[in-house]
Amino acid sequence: MSSVRALNQLMLLASEVGDLIELRFDCVESTELGQCLKESRRLMDSLDHPVIITFRPAEQGGKRALAHETRLQFWLFDKPNGAAFCDIEFDLVTGLASSTFAKGCLDWQTVICSHHDFVGVPVDLEQIYERMAGTPARILKVAVHADDVTDCIPVFKLLERARREGREMIAIAMGAAGIATRILGPSRGSFLTYGALETDGATAPGQLTAKELRELYRVDRITEQTLITGIVGLPVGHSVSPHVHNAAFAAAGVNGVYIPFEVRDAKSFFGRIVHPQTREIDWNLRGLSITAPHKATVMDDLDWVEPAAQEIGAVNTVVVVGDALHGYNTDATSVLKPVIERFGSLRDSRCAIIGAGGAASAALWSLRREGACVTVFARNFQKTNSLAEKFGARYENLEAARFDAFDLVINATPLGTCGQRENETPAISDQLRGARFAYDLVYNPTETRFLREARDAGCETLGGLPMLVQQAAEQFKLWTGADAPIEVMRVAAERALQ
């Protein structure tokens, strides 16, 4: 909120999706603060939801600079009565705790003592917790910044300690790599988790919306017995897989959740968080989807890999089996099904694959099994020539390639994926003219530049969404042993992409 005008509407909207409402008075313009305080008192009396009041300075994540004296004035004299909780920064809590004057102004049973670190995870996090625990505040809150998923480990451990010691605690890792703490925190003892009203209204890095937390991840239904799955990659923010798999779990009545894991160091992630014999947190992890750039590198961290995935040299699915990790490639068994449904038999067809990564390997392996004649196009000669030779295919350089002699052209590169490279394509219409069918494995966006160029060239086209749903259905069966509700998954993917 930034004004009195916005206050009424935002509080009503928040009451529809949240259990508690946080009022961030540091987001209010100084000229509007007095009127907003007055209006908030009236609104708090009319709402059934408990309210958290926050007045955070910029150096601790607030929206504007606040002098120490201004903060003291707010908490001792200005704060609206009727708030269920007051979120006060640790540095201010220590001063207020020693003030005899504050005793009559603050009810410590309503105070959340908070500490924020927007740089990383402090090495003395446990000591910070102990000092905070020495204050009279009822609830402790720690929010740190995660550069990798492994930075979530000390956050989860802090929640475990607080629960053992009978302390009410909020612990969050901020940033895209910390999303798991926001989704799983309440099931591990966190007093609450935060959700924004809108995506562009987040008050901290990596904050999901309240609607996503409740409807997509079903955060209020997660327990310590919930089966945990997720997608591992860098980046993963564009992925619709959480929509696909969480919809499938809900439709099938499976107590499961699917979480995005933004991972830089896959070896550390698998060693410290995934593998049952070495992981440092206790959770009911059942399996993972693996995407770029980790499909090949994770193979060294698995105990068993199916023969097809070994031959392809890439894994896109991991299943936890007892104390071991098993690897599969559901891309390979799914990539051609949508094409064959439209194209018919691929035997002796002339097929071009653009790319030399894990997706290209899966497509090449599948095409060779179908009896197609395949040529691989890419810019990296050494990598591409090795891939082509491995499967008895031809190799040509992509720079001046023409595809008029091919029945099927597959884009197996990430070019065109939603984000920084969305406007890129591995081939333009002049190169594609004369080809019969163009197939883009990129599914987000549904309309890629590659597909537009192919249509301009007169090609039939197919996007990557049907393949995404098909391979996800196979993952679902590997993780649960049950057939996937594939139509539910398809609809969920389409809605997410809209």
Closest listed residue to residue 182, CA positions, set 148, 205, 150:
205
Which one of 295, 383, 390, 477 is the catalytic residue? 295
Question: Is residue 375 exposed (0-12), middle (13-18) or buried (19+ Cβ within 10 Å)?
Answer: buried
Count CA atoms closer than 13 A to 27's CA, side-chain side.
Answer: 17
Kind and range of the H or E run holding 70: helix 68-73
Smallest CA-to-CA distance from 451 within 417, 420, 419 is with 417
Q: Determine the Cα–Cα distance for residues 120 and 173; give it in Å rounded to an integer.
A: 9
b/e string for 133-155 if b means 16 or more Cβ within 10 A? Answer: eebebbbbbbbbbbbbbbbbbbb
295 is known as an active-site residue: yes
Evaluate the CA torsion angle 279, 280, 282, 284 in order and state its sign: negative
Instruction: Give the tokens for residue 42.
Output: 């009236």
410 SS3 class: strand
* Assigned token pair, 426: 């591995």
* Cα→Cα distances 66→7, 30, 70, 72, Å: 21, 10, 6, 10
324's CB contacts (< 8 A; 6+ apart) are 276, 303, 304
Q: Which two tokens stand for residue 312?
A: 């392809």
Catalytic residue IDs? 295
